[in-house]
Amino acid sequence: MFEYKALASQGRARAGIFSTPHGELKTPAFAPVGTQATVKTLTPAQLDELGASLVLSNTYHLYLRPGDELIRTLGGLHAFMQWPRPMLTDSGGFQVFSLAKTRKIDDDGVTFKSHIDGSTHRFTPEKSIQIQENLGADIIMAFDECSDPNDHAYSKIAMERTHRWAERCLTVKTRSDQALFGIIQGGVNPDLRAASAQFIASLPFPGIAIGGLSVGETKDEMHTTIDLITPLLPENKPRYLMGVGTPEDLINGIARGVDIFDCVLPTRLARHNAAFSSEGRLNLMNAAFARDPRPIDETCGCYTCQTFTRAYLRHLIVAKELLAGTLLSIHNLHTMIALVNDMRASIFDGTFESKISFWLDQWQGNAERTKNLSENY
């Protein structure tokens, strides 16, 4: 259990398998985010059709509502949300820092107020593990502290606290059917990142995560940081880049040896009427699409693109029909999952490095690319 096998590689890019109690996770893998025990607007059956392999859910949210004890009583998160394949829960740390109303951090843990009702709560490494054991995901995360990436002094304090907390998490963990991943912190400071990678890699974690990226640093800083870290990590453990990212980020991450990603972007964009397209990001609310008989992306094989026109999607959005969010979520998640599957296949067949420029052509700066909206239909 929890063995990672690299089956093929090209440059630093790896294709492998990570075994979990809910089946083998093929890597590289992109995990849709099901914050509140649901990937927003999608049934598990629809996620399954999308080929989703790993789903992430948020410890902070589930602890507050409906409560981890309730989920444990009902058989754990897999049973509760009826997702039969691998699941991952984060530690709650990042959400406490980004969502909670107020928080006070000390060496033992964090006291915070719920963003839902203002009630006061406290997370410690021990509490985070206890909650995650109640939730019962296959992969659970060490409790960590994310810092302002450019603040060296604070990044050092946060990193050192993260290291002490990592050891406490390993100590209190009891379930053998869960893989606890350690998290590397240190902002965009090379000395701290190197120290953190070496320290976390020295502990008996079956997988290693890179935290504290995609939090405001530049793309160059993100790439330099990953470039520094992955060579310091063991080959026989999966590497998880937390909360990342765009299609472009996935290409750059996989090329640098990352195996697992998660991000809310595909479903969040869907709720804002936006769709990935290899020609540029589309806002389907745009009047230019009112009579457009084409799918979102003519090269896409998803249910939405195989079935519906841009004109129909725009109508649903203008008419405030919730189906729009479902159909755009399907498309955006498919785009990410299909891209990662493409990259995995190309690592096996030896074409990965030759295809990077093709993928980057499609996806680099994709969000900013201006689609020609003046065509008339």
Among 42, 305, 337, 356, binds a second copy (CB under 8 A): 42
291 scored as a contact of a second copy (CB under 8 A):
yes
Residue 26 or 310 with smaller CB distance to a second copy:
310
Among 1, 51, 65, 101, binds a second copy (CB under 8 A): 65
**DSSP characters for 39-107?**
-TT--HHHHHHTT---EEE-HHHHHHTT-HHHHHHTT-HHHHHT--S-EEE--SHHHHHHTSS-EEE-S
Among 1, 7, 70, 153, binds a second copy (CB under 8 A): 70
Minimal distance, residue 37 CB to a second copy, in Å? 7
* Rg from Cα positions in the chain: 20
136 scored as a contact of a second copy (CB under 8 A):
no
Q: Residue 3 is encoded by which pair of tokens?
A: 């063995």
Among 21, 23, 66, 76, binds a second copy (CB under 8 A): 66
Cα distances (Å, whole numbers) of residue 120 to 40, 62, 63, 335: 27, 15, 13, 40
Among 33, 81, 180, 242, binds a second copy (CB under 8 A): 81
Q: Which of 68, 138, 259, 262 is catalytic?
A: 262
Residue 19 or 46 with smaller CB distance to a second copy:
46
Minimal distance, residue 291 CB to a second copy, in Å? 6
User: Which residue, chain included where needed, has tokens 């896409």?
Assistant: 300
Q: Residue 258 is encoded by which pair of tokens?
A: 């990352």
Minimal distance, residue 327 CB to a second copy, in Å? 7
Minimal distance, residue 32 CB to a second copy, in Å? 13
The answer to whether residue 90 is catalytic is: yes
* Cα angle for residues 210, 213, 214 (degrees, 5° grid): 140
Residue 185 or 267 with smaller CB distance to a second copy:
267
Minimal distance, residue 303 CB to a second copy, in Å? 7
Q: Which stretch binds a second copy (CB under 8 A): 34-42, 100-108, 165-173, 240-248?
A: 34-42
255 scored as a contact of a second copy (CB under 8 A):
no
User: Which residue, chain included where needed, has tokens 């985070």?
Assistant: 128
Residue 154 or 303 with smaller CB distance to a second copy:
303
- At position 249, the amino acid (one-letter code) is D
Q: Which of 68, 90, 249, 292 is catalytic?
A: 90
Residue 204 or 319 with smaller CB distance to a second copy:
319
Strands, E assignment, the chain = 4-10, 13-20, 23-27, 29-32, 55-57, 87-89, 103-105, 110-113, 120-123, 139-141, 179-184, 207-210, 239-241, 260-263, 274-275, 282-283
HEC string of 131-161 equals HHHHHCCCEEECCCCCCCCCCHHHHHHHHHH
* CA atoms of 282 and 279, how far apart (whole Å): 9
Helix H or strand E encompassing 303: helix 303-307
Minimal distance, residue 304 CB to a second copy, in Å? 9
Minimal distance, residue 215 CB to a second copy, in Å? 25
User: Which residue, chain included where needed, has tokens 């769709």?
Assistant: 275
Q: Residue 277 is encoded by which pair of tokens?
A: 């397209």
Q: Assign 123 to helix, strand or coil.
A: strand
Site for a second copy in 293-352 (CB under 8 A): 293, 303, 307-309, 311-312, 314-316, 318-319, 321-323, 325-327
The answer to whether residue 262 is catalytic is: yes
Q: How many residues bind a second copy (CB under 8 A)?
A: 38
Residue 42 or 356 with smaller CB distance to a second copy:
42
User: Which residue, chain included where needed, has tokens 């699409």?
Assistant: 289
Residues that bind a second copy (CB under 8 A): 36-38, 40-45, 61, 65-66, 70, 73-74, 80-82, 290-291, 293, 303, 307-309, 311-312, 314-316, 318-319, 321-323, 325-327
Active site residues: 90, 262
